[in-house]
A = this chain, B = another copy of it.
Amino acid sequence: MAGKKKVGLVGVTGYTGMELSRILLGHPDLELTAVTSRKEAGKPLSVIYPFLQNTALQDLVISAPDPETLARQCDLVFLAVPHGTAMEMGAALVDAGTRVVDLSADFRIRDAAVYANWYGLEHTRRSHIERAVYGLPELYADQVRNASLVANPGCYPTSVILGLYPALAKGLVHTDGIVVDSKSGASGAGRKASVGTLFCEVHDSFKAYGLGKHRHTPEIEQEISLAAGKGLTVSFNTHLLPIDRGILSTTYTVLREATSLEEIHAEYSDFYEGRPWVRVLPLGVLPETRWVRGTMFCDIGLVVDPRTNRLVIVSAIDNLCRGASGQAVANANLMLGLPPQAGLNLPPMMP
């Protein structure tokens, strides 16, 4: 294991922690050497996660989180704690001299007033917002390479921004009237005990929630406004799927002109040339969440509806891998000077 970079994980007990463990077990250049949880400190990882028995992580002992110690031990720390908590811990880790990939929302929103408005919380570390880079590799790889603090994108925003960006950046669609109808698997709700996410409340059912009010809205608007070169407002709406992993976003736009599907497909293919994690699917093929299960892929399907002059964009990701832990590792690769795809050429688990 000589030569591997050492990384830590603050907050190992949730689904993103599980997923990061899975990914790092197959990573050739990163070694998970510190994991923390106040509640489970002192236990080997395989005691809380029996499925890690007989893996390289089985004996890693969980510790209580301490920024100074982590900074000393690790070349980079992944932060998987709730927003609010993350801003302090993230700032402390950066100040202690290590690099940080924060999986929470705390450093994603450039405008602290917008953050306060949507998250109901004053930001206490505004100077660190300025240092933070929004870690969507297809858009910001160069900035990420030099960052000490990366704000890992939210799961919904990853699917929506990658789906919309080319259409807006290339001026194919109108900037107003955009509607996003997103659907997410239940792992997005986290691993805390609650009646609403019990098996019998989610299974064999489907519902909408948080319509027009989801906290990922300002994050989406921030990034696609940059694509469009002007401030955008979108209608962003979320639904809960009875699946473990996966987000599929159906985005409705209005074409500026009567562009053919072939032309739009070519523009998208051109935009994502050399970015192999974004797969612009062949004409007529639409994404399925299972096709990206366990992977970094964002699959994009395109439909032109001449009756309504609309471009409909369907984009699918795995919310835990591409939408959280896998993307965090991609950012870590960039920050540590590793090959961007190291440990992340994960084929989908089908079925």
Chain A residues proximal to chain B, CB less than 8 Å: 15, 18-19, 21-22, 25-26, 49-55, 177, 179, 181, 183, 186-187, 191-195, 197-209, 211-212, 233-235, 237, 239, 241-246, 248, 250, 252, 254, 276-277, 279, 281-282, 285-294, 297, 301, 303, 305, 307-308, 310, 312, 314, 345-351
Chain B residues whose CB sits within 8 angstroms of the CB of A183 once the complex forms: 183, 206, 239
A196: min CB distance to chain B, Å: 9
A241 touches B206 (CB 8 A): yes
B204 touches A305 (CB 8 A): no
> From A221, which residue of chain B is reached at the shortest CB distance?
B307
Within 8 Å by CB of A252, from B18, B179, B285, B294, lies B179
A212 CA / B252 CA spacing, docked (Å): 11
Chain B residues whose CB sits within 8 angstroms of the CB of A297 once the complex forms: 54
Within 8 Å by CB of A198, from B199, B206, B286, B348, lies B199
A207 touches B252 (CB 8 A): no
Within 8 Å by CB of A312, from B212, B281, B307, lies B212
B233 touches A308 (CB 8 A): yes
Within 8 Å by CB of A351, from B26, B50, B200, B351, lies B200
A241 touches B244 (CB 8 A): no
Q: How many copies does the complex hold?
A: 4
A242 touches B308 (CB 8 A): no
Within 8 Å by CB of A301, from B19, B26, B186, B208, lies B208
B22 touches A348 (CB 8 A): yes
A9 CA / B187 CA spacing, docked (Å): 35
- Top 6 closest pairs, chain A to chain B, by CB: A212-B305, A51-B291, A205-B290, A207-B288, A200-B351, A181-B181
Q: Please judge, given known A-B contacts A203-B203, A243-B205, A347-B52, whether A181 and B250 are in contact too, CB under 8 Å.
A: yes
B244 touches A286 (CB 8 A): no
Q: Can you list 19 A-B contacts with CB-CB less than 8 angstroms, sorted by A residue number?
A: A26-B347, A51-B290, A53-B282, A186-B198, A186-B199, A187-B200, A191-B195, A193-B193, A199-B201, A202-B203, A203-B204, A203-B243, A204-B204, A205-B288, A205-B293, A206-B288, A211-B314, A235-B307, A237-B250
A241 CA / B191 CA spacing, docked (Å): 20
Within 8 Å by CB of A53, from B19, B194, B279, lies B279
Chain B residues whose CB sits within 8 angstroms of the CB of A312 once the complex forms: 211-212, 235, 237
A349 touches B287 (CB 8 A): no
A350 touches B246 (CB 8 A): no
A287 touches B208 (CB 8 A): yes
A49 CA / B305 CA spacing, docked (Å): 26
A234 CA / B349 CA spacing, docked (Å): 34
